[in-house]
Each structure stands twice: as structure tokens, then as C-alpha cells.
């Protein structure tokens, strides 16, 4: 609790100590003979003690032309009650209202701190070695190219490359991925990750302002400034609502008794004319107490903020509450292929038509390709996965545009494409099942099958499409510059509903525009890309999602939602988080306004008294705030 | 020109009122107040003197919400 809250707490406690015995006396639960004026004065003590700031704000509001706010509502209602002789109720309303305010202020402050902590990846200091001793400096002061030391348990303060040491890094604050990442000399490290085991020496590559941690912090902090429609709706609503209920209360206080007086209808219920007026004015005061809009006004921004915080903890950075709202309405998702659905790196996907053992075939190919730096050669070596003894290979000849022929263990081996096989006069079998780059292998002049190398589909892509379908996404479309055949195969394998192949980058934008036209009503289109060269498409879609964005500035700039790691499963997760958040917002609006309306009606009919009114008001607010905090818990979604 | 200021305010509605008041201040092109992050982002008109404008913004905010604070 801060100072202000503590002071309010004490005021509430002392006022309550005064109030309870007084109330018992005034309601004649306890018999004490006190003159009327003494009771009034005694009641004024707790009233002023607990409510003086409300009275002051209401007065200042009137002076400054800002009449209708909740302070005004409370002031009029409580003063009204006291003037009408309902001292106990008047003071109780003020007391409970302040308890509600205290709770709200405490809950909001607490969740504000929790959420900020959750997102806090700000490094406090960087260690620099000077004359063999470590000194802590502000990360702001470290120049690019300096060597910094990060000890176990410390945050990496700046992006850089490891020059010495190895360790495992906890990147969960950045990616939501709980598995530690192994790093060694030469690895790039990102600021905001936590060093878990060994001491690392890092050469920095960015200044603090440009580092990943700063960029993410900046993004998250600004997110709450982009307000959602619901937030704008509520602030507009509050602007009109309060004056309306004030006039309604005024009407309630004047019109019915006037009607009764003039027509004499129902006059029989009241002993005197004074009784009649007293009854209706009291109803109007009750009406004012109920109408306080706090519950809704506080819970909506709190829900969104908690939602943004919870999402960022899961490695989903949403750039604003408005995007959270759009995300929840996504029905069509368009994907880039390379780097989004596929890994964007080449790997051996199949070995076929081989009369010899697959592993043996890979052994030949890996050795013959052992000298090449081409990514395809690297992928074969990786698939082989064992030590390559280059001394086994002799007479190596690279035939440009065809492949390689060599002698391995004295046997002639040729590895290359169709053209190479034709050239060597070897009868080969074309690959008709698989799509990708095909490398034929011939050993001792005889055909030994082929290796298919292609971009691998991410392990989670298929499950991700299923998850999207379950999350209510009707259409998943892949947009790719790749060949028709490759696109068709990937689309079928992953379970996309549609694909467009052989697109130039500019075609992707027109494709998205076409898809946008098909979206009617509240349906929204999301485009998911890896942020490299699809910035125009990201910004054209209703919502642009960049994935694997760590380290890519373009993506962080252009996208509305940034997925910190490469996992396409996060897309559905982001949608589910947004749905949960939006449904909580709706629950709160409907629940709070619903209860208020019912109570307003009851108050107007004279069924609900002040006690019901204030308990409804504070109770609804507490429930709405607690419900809003649920937005934070999205881990299991 | 855009600038961000730290603020102190007690209720969400008061934050909305501050936003309104700031928007109406001459020299302010746009303004958003986030109650949750307690930040006021102000976009100034071309050629406006940010410090002078902010003083006025502060005065106007004080009028609508006596209990607020803007750390200039």
C-alpha cells in the first residue's frame, strides 16, 4: 500500500469505530438518551473524516464546470440522506464507498505492479572488466563493441556475441519458451535473457536503446496507449451516463410527488405531504448511489492490460488493446510459407529407390559432398550425422551445374542432378513422389537411388492449423512464391484450406486484398509472416502477425502482433488469449450494467434502500475487478 | 513531435478526464492517457513549445482532476 492508501485505510478504520456504536444507538438497538442535535453532530464526525476529500472534489468539480462525476453523485446522495434524517445510511454509504475505492486502488496498484514485473526484462546494470576487476555500469553507458561479463543468474544487458564461455540461457521472458537455450563462444545472445550456468564474456553489438530488451519494453509500454473500441465506448459512455442519471434522479425526486399532489392518486400511502416528498427524494438519493459507474470504467482497461501482460508472458506481444480486439475476430488467416509454415532451412526429407541401405547411401553422398560449402551439401552431412573422413575420398571432380564425381574407398561415386546422370549415361529414376531438390547417387556406375532435399515443415505446423480451426478460423491460406507443386504438397500436408503459388511479393498484397473483400461483417483477416520482405502485406491485413521476430527490426515495426519464437502454435494461442480477454470484458460490461439497471429499477420503485444500493455498487465493482484480473492467467489456454 | 510523461492519478475515469482536458489544450494535436501504465503520451502541433504547452496541459488537468500529477 502506498502512503495515500494507508491514510485512507486509517480514516476508514477510525470512522468505522465511531460509526458502529452511533448507528446502534440511533437505530435504538442500544438505549442511550441523546438529544437529536447531539446525534447529528456525532454522526458528522465519521462522515467528514471519511468523506471530506469526496466533498472537496465535488465542490471543486462544480467550481470548474465539471459537475457530473462520481464524487458529485456520492455527495448529493449522502448529503440528501443526512438532511432527510437518515444519518446512519448517509454515513454508511460514504464509508462503504471509500472502502470500495480503497480496494479498487489497491487491486489496481497491485496488478499494475504484477503485470509490469511480468514484463520487466529491463537490465539494471552491465559488468565491465576494468584492470581485472568487475565494475557495474549503467547499460546505457556501454559502447558498441565493448566486452561485458555476465555472471550466472544475471540478465544479459545488451545484445551481443559471446567471445568466451558457454552456458544455457533462459529466454522465457523473451519467447515464453521455458526450455533453456545452449550457447557457446560465437553464439548471438539477446538482451533480456537470463544466464543460468556459466560466466559469459560478450562483445556487444548494439547500444542499449537499440537492444532487443529496450525495443520490447518500449513496445509493451506503448501497447496500453492504443485503446480498444470497448475502452473508447466506456469512456464515452461514462461521459453521457453520469449526467443522464443525475437528471433522472432529479426527475424521480420531483415528478412523482408532484403528480401525486396534483392528482391525489396514491396520496393515501403518505401521512403528510412532507412524508411524500421525503420518500421520493430518498429514492432519488438511493438511485444516485447505485448509478456510480466505477465498476465498468475501471474493469475494462484493467482487463485489457492484464490480457496484454499475460500474452507477453507467453511470448505473444500485442501492440495495443485495439489489436487484441481485432485478433479475437480473426476468421481468415493467410500465411507466408518459408519461415512461417516451413523452417526456411534445407534438410534431407527422403531417400528413395535405393537398392542399398539408406544410411550407406547417405554415407556416400555425405563424403563426396564433404568438401562443399553449399547449403544442400551441409544438409546431407547433417542427415548423415557421423564423422566424415575426408581421406576416404580421392579424385574429386566438381562438374558445375551437374554435381560431383569422385572415388570413395576406391569405388567411383557420382552425386548430382538428372543432367549428371544423363551425362554419365546412367539410367536413373526420376522422383515422382516428393517435391524438392533431387540428388541422384550412382556407385560404381550403377544407380543407387536418390536423396530428396527440401525445406522442412515445422513440427507444429499441422497441429497449429488444427488449433486454428478449433479456435473458429474458417480459412487458412498460404501465399508463396514457390512452385505450384511444392505449394500444393505443403498445403495438403499441413492441412491448409487453400493456397496461392508462384506469387511475386507484390502479388501477395493483391491476394490479401482479394481475401479481405471476401471477409464480411465482423470477420477479420490476419497475415502471418516472418517479417522478412513481407512488411507491406503485414500492414495491409487487418492484423499483421510477425513470427520468430527476435532480432528482426522490420517485423517489430510492421506487425501488430509479434510472436517471439517460431512456433506457429502461438497464432492460435494469441487468438484464444484475445477471445478470453474480450469475453471477460463483455462479461463485465453486461454484468455490471445489468446489476445496476436492476437495482436502479428497484430503487425507483422504492424496493431497494441505501444499504442495498451501496452494497450492490461496491460488490459489483469488486467482482468486476477480480474478474478482470483473470485475463492475466492465460498460460493453459 | 511526441513525448511521453509519467503521471499519477487515482481512477480510470479521472484518467479519461485528463485525456479530454489535455486534448482540448491549444498546441496539443493528440493525447492518450493510459491509466494502467500511468503514462500520458502527447503529440504536439507543429512548432509548438512543448514545455509551455505542457504547463497549460497540467493546469487544465488540475481543473478536471484536482488529485492528479504530471511529472514534467
Sign, CA torsion A341/A346/A349/A352: positive
E-assigned strands of A92-172? 126-130, 133-137, 147-150, 160-164, 167-170
Task: Report the residue of chain A nearest B13, measured CA to CA.
Answer: A297
In whole numbers, what is the pLDDT of chain A averaged over residues?
85
- According to DSSP, the residues that pair with A546 across neighbouring strands are A529, A562
Per DSSP, the residues of B6-66 read EEE-S-HHHHHHHHHHHHHSTTEEEEEEETTTTEEEEEEPTT--HHHHHHHHHHHHHHH-T
Residue A16: Cβ within 10 Å count: 16
Chosen from B13, B22, B31, B61 to mutate, greatest number of chain A CBs within 10 A: B13
User: In which residue ranges of chain A is CATH 3.40.1110.10 found?
Assistant: 345-457
| Integer CA distances (angstroms), A530 to A9, A48, A197, A405, A436, in order | 52, 61, 31, 38, 21
Q: Is 90 exceeded by the pLDDT of residue A114?
A: no
Residue A435 pLDDT grade (very low, low, confident, very high; cuts 50, 70, 90): low
Please give the pLDDT value at position A370. 79
Nearest beta carbon to residue A225 from set B10, B34, B63: B34
Do residues B53 and B40 lie in contact, with contact meaning Cβ atoms separated by under 8 Å?
Answer: no
Residues of B in contact with A66 (CB under 8 A): 17, 63-64
ipTM metric? 0.84
Chosen from A54, A112, A217, A224 to mutate, greatest number of chain B CBs within 10 A: A224
State the maximum Cα–Cα separation within chain B, in Å, rounded to a whole number: 33
Give dist(CA A227, CA A325) in Å, integer.
10
CA angle A234, A236, A237 (to 5 degrees): 60
Task: Report the residue of chain B nearest A292, measured CA to CA.
Answer: B13
- According to DSSP, the residues that pair with A330 across neighbouring strands are A524
> Could you tell me where the DSSP H helices lie in A139-199?
172-175
E-assigned strands of A87-240? 126-130, 133-137, 147-150, 160-164, 167-170, 181-183, 188-189, 194-195, 200-204
| Integer CA distances (angstroms), A434 to A314, A431, B44, in order | 36, 6, 59
Contacts of A78 (CB under 8 A, 6+ apart): A47, A51, A90, A91, A93, A94, A285
Cβ–Cβ below 8 Å for A66 and B34: no
Residues of A in contact with B11 (CB under 8 A): 70, 101, 104-105, 294, 297-298
pLDDT in tens, A237-292: 888 888 888 899 999 999 998 988 888 877 777 888 888 888 899 999 998 888 88
Give dist(CA A333, CA A461) in Å, integer.
13
SS (HEC) of B38-52: CEEEEEECCCCCHHH
Q: Is 80 exceeded by the pLDDT of residue A104?
A: yes
Residue A28 pLDDT grade (very low, low, confident, very high; cuts 50, 70, 90): confident
Task: Report the residue of chain A nearest B61, measured CA to CA.
Answer: A64
Cβ–Cβ below 8 Å for B11 and A294: yes
Do residues A343 and A460 lie in contact, with contact meaning Cβ atoms separated by under 8 Å?
Answer: no
Coil, strand or helix at A421: helix
- Selected residue with higher pLDDT from B3 and A131: B3
| Distance of residue A622 Cα from the nearest chain B Cα, in angstroms | 14
Please give the pLDDT value at position A526. 93
Which helix (H) or strand (E) segment holds residue A468: the answer is: helix A461-470
Give dist(CA A214, CA A273) in Å, integer.
70
Please give the pLDDT value at position A466. 93
Closest CA relative to residue A583, chosen from A110, A236, A230, A295: A230
Q: Are strands A475-479 and A498-500 parallel, antiparallel or unpaired?
A: parallel
Residue A1 pLDDT grade (very low, low, confident, very high; cuts 50, 70, 90): confident
User: In which residue ranges of chain A is CATH 2.70.150.10 found?
Assistant: 143-206
Please give the pLDDT value at position A190. 86
Q: Is B65 exposed, middle or buried (0-12, 13-18, 19+ CB in 10 A)?
A: buried
Sign, CA torsion A322/A630/A626/B41: negative
Closest CA relative to residue B40, chosen from B50, A385, A454: B50
Cβ–Cβ below 8 Å for B13 and A57: no
| Distance of residue B54 Cα from the nearest chain A Cα, in angstroms | 18
Q: Is 70 exceeded by the pLDDT of residue A433?
A: no
Please give the pLDDT value at position A549. 64
| Distance of residue B43 Cα from the nearest chain A Cα, in angstroms | 13
What is the strand order of the sheet A543-547 is part of?
A: A316-318, A561-563, A543-547, A524-529, A330-336, A475-479, A498-500
Cβ–Cβ below 8 Å for A112 and B36: yes
Please give the pLDDT value at position A329. 92
Residues of B in contact with A61 (CB under 8 A): 64
Nearest beta carbon to residue B41 from set A4, A116, A225: A225
Do residues A391 and A367 lie in contact, with contact meaning Cβ atoms separated by under 8 Å?
Answer: no
Do residues A460 and A473 lie in contact, with contact meaning Cβ atoms separated by under 8 Å?
Answer: no
Residues of B in contact with A588 (CB under 8 A): none
Give dist(CA A299, CA B11) in Å, integer.
11
Coil, strand or helix at A432: coil
Coil, strand or helix at A36: helix
> Known catalytic residues of A?
336
Please give the pLDDT value at position A95. 93
Give dist(CA A67, CA A53) in Å, integer.
16
Q: Is 70 exceeded by the pLDDT of residue A411?
A: yes
Q: Is A244 exposed, middle or buried (0-12, 13-18, 19+ CB in 10 A)?
A: exposed
Q: Kindly report which listed range (A114-118, A389-393, A483-487) carries the lowest average pLDDT score.
A: A114-118
Cβ–Cβ below 8 Å for B64 and A298: no
Give dist(CA A479, CA A533) in Å, integer.
13
Residues of A in contact with B36 (CB under 8 A): 108, 112, 115, 224, 301-302, 304-305
Do residues A178 and A188 lie in contact, with contact meaning Cβ atoms separated by under 8 Å?
Answer: no
Give dist(CA A314, CA A572) in Å, integer.
12
pLDDT in tens, A151-192: 888 888 898 999 988 898 888 777 777 778 888 888 888 888
Chosen from A71, A74, A297, A625 to mutate, greatest number of chain B CBs within 10 A: A297
**Which residue ranges make up each domain of chain B?**
2-71
DSSP state of A236: H
Please give the pLDDT value at position A432. 65
Nearest beta carbon to residue A227 from set B32, B38, B39: B32
> What does R_g of chain B's alpha carbons equal in angstroms?
11
pLDDT in tens, B5-50: 889 888 888 888 899 899 999 999 999 898 888 889 899 998 888 8
Start-to-end Cα distance in chain B: 16
Nearest beta carbon to residue A238 from set B13, B38, B64: B13
Contacts of A45 (CB under 8 A, 6+ apart): A18
Q: Kindly report which listed range (A183-197, A394-408, A458-472) carries the lowest average pLDDT score.
A: A394-408
| Integer CA distances (angstroms), A252 to A239, A256, A279, A452, A605, in order | 21, 6, 11, 82, 10
pLDDT in tens, A42-98: 899 999 999 999 999 889 888 887 778 888 889 999 999 998 888 888 999 999 999
Q: Is A567 exposed, middle or buried (0-12, 13-18, 19+ CB in 10 A)?
A: buried
How long a stretch of residues is chain A? Answer: 637
Give dist(CA A565, CA A632) in Å, integer.
20
Instruction: Kindly report the pTM of this predicted structure.
Output: 0.80
- Domain B2-71 - what CATH class? alpha beta
Q: Is 60 exceeded by the pLDDT of residue A551?
A: no
Nearest beta carbon to residue B39 from set A225, A238, A293: A225
Q: Is 90 exceeded by the pLDDT of residue A327?
A: yes
Contacts of B36 (CB under 8 A, 6+ apart): A108, A112, A115, A224, A301, A302, A304, A305
Cβ–Cβ below 8 Å for A104 and B66: no
Residues of B in contact with A53 (CB under 8 A): 67
Give me the CATH code for the A143-206 domain, please: 2.70.150.10
Residue A426 pLDDT grade (very low, low, confident, very high; cuts 50, 70, 90): confident
Nearest beta carbon to residue B12 from set A66, A116, A298: A298
Nearest beta carbon to residue B34 from set A57, A60, A224: A224
| Distance of residue B48 Cα from the nearest chain A Cα, in angstroms | 22
Residue A233 pLDDT grade (very low, low, confident, very high; cuts 50, 70, 90): confident
E-assigned strands of A486-553? 498-500, 524-529, 543-547
Do residues A424 and A417 lie in contact, with contact meaning Cβ atoms separated by under 8 Å?
Answer: no
Q: Is A446 exposed, middle or buried (0-12, 13-18, 19+ CB in 10 A)?
A: exposed
Do residues A266 and A276 lie in contact, with contact meaning Cβ atoms separated by under 8 Å?
Answer: no
pLDDT in tens, A557-602: 778 898 888 888 999 999 999 999 999 999 999 999 899 889 989 9
Residues of A in contact with B41 (CB under 8 A): 222, 225
CA of residue A369 relative to chain centroid, distance: 46
Do residues A596 and A290 lie in contact, with contact meaning Cβ atoms separated by under 8 Å?
Answer: yes
Residues of B in contact with A60 (CB under 8 A): 66
Tell me the percentage of chain A whose pLDDT exceeds 70: 96
Q: Which CATH number fits domain A345-457: 3.40.50.20, 3.40.190.10, 3.40.50.150, 3.40.1110.10?
A: 3.40.1110.10
- Selected residue with higher pLDDT from A292 and A372: A292
> If phi over 0 gives left and psi between -120 and 50 gives alpha, with beta otherwise, what is residue A344?
left
What is the strand order of the sheet B39-44 is part of?
A: B28-34, B39-44, B2-8, B69-71
Amino acid at each position: 500500500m502506498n502512503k495515500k492508501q494507508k491514510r485512507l485505510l486509517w480514516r476508514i478504520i477510525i470512522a468505522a469505530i465511531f460509526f458502529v456504536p452511533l448507528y446502534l444507538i440511533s437505530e435504538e438497538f442500544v438505549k442511550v438518551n441523546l438529544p437529536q442535535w447531539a446525534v447529528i453532530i456525532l454522526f458528522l464526525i465519521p462522515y467528514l473524516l471519511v468523506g471530506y476529500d469526496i466533498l472537496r472534489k465535488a465542490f471543486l468539480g462544480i467550481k470548474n464546470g465539471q459537475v457530473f462525476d462520481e464524487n458529485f453523485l456520492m455527495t448529493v446522495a449522502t448529503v440528501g440522506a443526512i438532511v432527510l434524517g437518515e444519518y446512519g445510511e448517509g454515513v454508511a454509504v460514504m464509508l462503504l464507498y471509500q472502502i470500495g475505492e480503497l480496494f479498487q486502488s489497491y487491486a489496481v496498484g497491485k496488478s499494475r505492479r504484477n503485470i509490469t514485473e511480468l514484463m520487466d526484462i529491463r537490465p539494471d546494470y552491465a559488468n565491465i572488466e576494468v584492470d581485472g576487476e568487475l565494475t557495474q555500469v549503467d547499460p546505457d553507458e556501454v559502447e558498441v563493441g565493448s566486452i561485458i561479463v555476465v555472471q550466472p543468474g544475471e540478465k544479459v544487458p545488451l545484445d551481443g556475441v559471446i567471445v568466451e564461455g558457454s552456458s544455457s540461457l533462459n529466454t522465457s521472458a523473451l519467447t515464453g519458451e521455458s526450455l533453456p537455450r545452449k550457447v557457446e563462444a560465437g553464439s548471438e545472445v539477446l538482451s533480456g535473457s537470463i544466464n543460468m550456468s556459466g560466466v559469459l564474456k560478450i562483445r556487444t553489438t548494439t547500444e542499449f536503446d537499440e537492444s532487443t530488451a529496450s525495443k520490447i519494453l518500449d513496445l509493451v509500454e506503448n501497447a496500453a496507449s492504443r485503446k480498444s473500441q470497448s475502452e473508447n465506448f466506456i469512456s464515452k459512455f461514462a461521459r453521457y451516463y453520469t449526467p443522464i442519471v443525475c437528471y433522472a434522479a432529479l426527475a424521480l425526486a420531483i415528478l412523482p410527488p408532484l403528480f401525486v399532489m396534483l392528482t391525489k392518486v396514491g396520496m393515501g400511502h403518505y401521512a403528510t405531504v412532507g412524508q411524500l416528498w421525503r420518500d421520493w427524494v430518498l429514492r432519488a438519493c438511493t438511485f444516485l448511489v447505485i448509478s456510480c459507474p466505477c465498476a465498468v470504467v475501471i474493469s475494462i482497461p484493467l482487463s485489457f492490460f492484464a490480457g496484454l501482460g499475460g500474452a507477453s508472458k507467453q511470448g505473444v506481444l500485442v501492440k495495443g488493446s485495439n489489436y487484441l480486439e481485432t485478433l479475437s475476430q480473426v476468421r481468415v488467416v493467410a500465411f507466408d510459407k518459408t519461415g512461417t509454415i516451413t523452417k526456411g532451412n534445407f534438410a534431407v526429407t527422403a531417400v528413395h529407390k535405393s537398392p542399398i541401405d539408406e544410411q550407406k547411401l547417405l554415407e556416400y553422398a555425405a563424403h563426396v559432398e564433404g568438401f562443399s560449402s553449399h547449403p544442400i551439401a551441409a544438409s546431407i552431412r547433417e542427415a548423415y550425422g557421423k564423422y566424415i573422413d575426408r581421406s576416404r575420398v580421392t579424385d574429386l571432380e566438381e562438374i558445375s551445374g551437374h554435381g560431383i564425381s569422385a572415388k570413395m574407398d576406391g569405388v567411383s561415386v557420382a552425386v548430382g542432378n538428372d543432367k549428371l546422370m544423363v551425362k554419365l549415361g546412367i539410367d536413373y529414376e526420376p522422383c515422382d513422389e516428393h517435391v524438392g531438390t533431387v540428388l541422384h547417387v550412382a556407385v560404381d556406375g550403377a544407380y543407387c537411388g536418390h536423396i530428396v532435399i527440401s525445406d522442412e515443415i515445422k513440427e507444429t505446423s499441422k497441429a497449429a492449423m488444427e488449433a486454428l480451426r478449433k479456435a473458429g478460423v474458417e480459412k487458412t491460406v498460404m501465399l508463396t512464391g514457390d512452385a505450384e507443386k511444392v505449394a500444393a504438397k505443403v498445403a495438403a500436408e499441413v492441412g491448409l484450406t487453400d493456397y496461392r503459388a508462384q506469387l511475386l511479393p507484390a502479388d501477395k498484397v493483391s491476394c490479401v486484398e482479394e481475401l479481405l473483400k471476401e471477409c464480411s461483417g465482423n470477420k477479420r483477416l490476419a497475415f502471418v509472416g516472418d517479417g522478412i520482405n513481407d512488411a507491406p502485406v503485414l500492414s495491409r491485413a487487418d492484423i499483421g502477425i510477425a513470427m520468430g521476430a527476435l532480432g528482426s527490426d522490420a517485423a517489430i515495426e510492421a506487425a501488430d502482433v509479434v510472436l517471439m519464437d517460431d512456433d506457429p502454435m502461438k497464432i492460435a494461442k494469441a487468438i484464444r488469449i484475445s477471445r478470453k480477454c474480450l469475453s471477460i470484458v463483455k462479461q463485465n460490461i453486461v454484468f455490471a450494467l445489468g446489476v445496476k439497471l436492476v437495482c436502479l429499477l428497484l430503487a425507483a420503485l422504492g424496493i431497494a434502500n441505501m444499504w442495498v444500493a451501496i452494497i450492490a455498487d461496491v460488490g459489483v465493482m469488486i467482482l468486476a475487478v477480480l474478474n478482470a484480473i483473470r485475463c492475466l492467467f492465460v498460460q493453459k489456454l | 513531435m511526441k513525448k511521453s510523461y509519467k503521471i499519477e492519478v487515482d481512477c480510470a475515469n479521472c484518467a479519461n478526464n485528463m485525456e479530454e482536458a489535455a486534448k482540448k489544450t491549444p498546441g496539443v494535436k493528440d493525447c492518450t492517457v493510459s491509466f494502467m501504465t500511468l503514462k500520458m503520451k502527447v503529440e504536439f502541433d507543429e512548432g509548438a513549445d512543448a514545455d509551455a504547452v505542457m504547463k497549460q496541459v497540467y493546469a487544465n488537468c488540475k481543473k478536471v482532476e484536482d488529485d492528479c500529477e504530471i511529472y514534467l
